[in-house]
Amino acid sequence: MPGLSHSEPPPAEGIAVDFGLNEDQEAFRAAVRTFAREKLAPGYLQRAKSEWFPWEVHREVAALGVFGLLAGEAFNPLAHEDFVAAGLVVEELAYAQVKTATRCSGVDSRPERRFGRWRVRVRRTP
């Protein structure tokens, strides 16, 4: 096209891209945000200083259904793995407690899910 340099892509015509969140992503973000600010943030410092793992908090986070977002069909409450929803969950939890957020990221469960035996996957994958 005349007037365009070689480094500029041609203008896109008739292409609309929606960068907004879908309903599931919005719902996960809202639920986790509420939980993180009302339940997780208030006891953060006490849990951070403790030598004990906060199982009660872990179970409450698990009840939200967020641990399985990247853990495969058997554990995922959504129809498919949703990396955006998982990122939103990690972001909202990290606001209140980073350690809980990293546990929800799925980074530590993906290798076990892909390569582990079923017994290991069920036992270790949240």
Tokens of 58: 């872990």
Higher pLDDT, 120 or 104: 104
Topology given in CATH for the domain delimited by 23-124? Butyryl-Coa Dehydrogenase, subunit A; domain 1 (1.10.540)
State the amino acid at position 32 in one-letter form. Answer: V
C-alpha–C-alpha distance, residues 1 and 70, integer Å: 44
pLDDT, residue 34, reads: 95
- What is the 8-class DSSP label of residue 43? G
For residue 106, the model assigns a pLDDT of 57
pLDDT (tens digit, 9 = 90+) per residue, 72-85? Answer: 777 777 777 888 88
* pLDDT per residue as tens digits for the range 15-74: 777 788 988 889 889 999 999 999 889 988 888 888 887 888 888 888 888 877 777 777
The number of angstroms, rounded, from the C-alpha of 9 to the middle of its chain's C-alpha atoms is 34
Of residues 3 and 71, more confidently modeled:
71
Q: Distance between CA 85 and CA 95 in Å, rounded?
A: 16
Report CA-CA distances (Å) from 11 to 1, 4, 6, 7, 14. 10, 10, 13, 12, 10
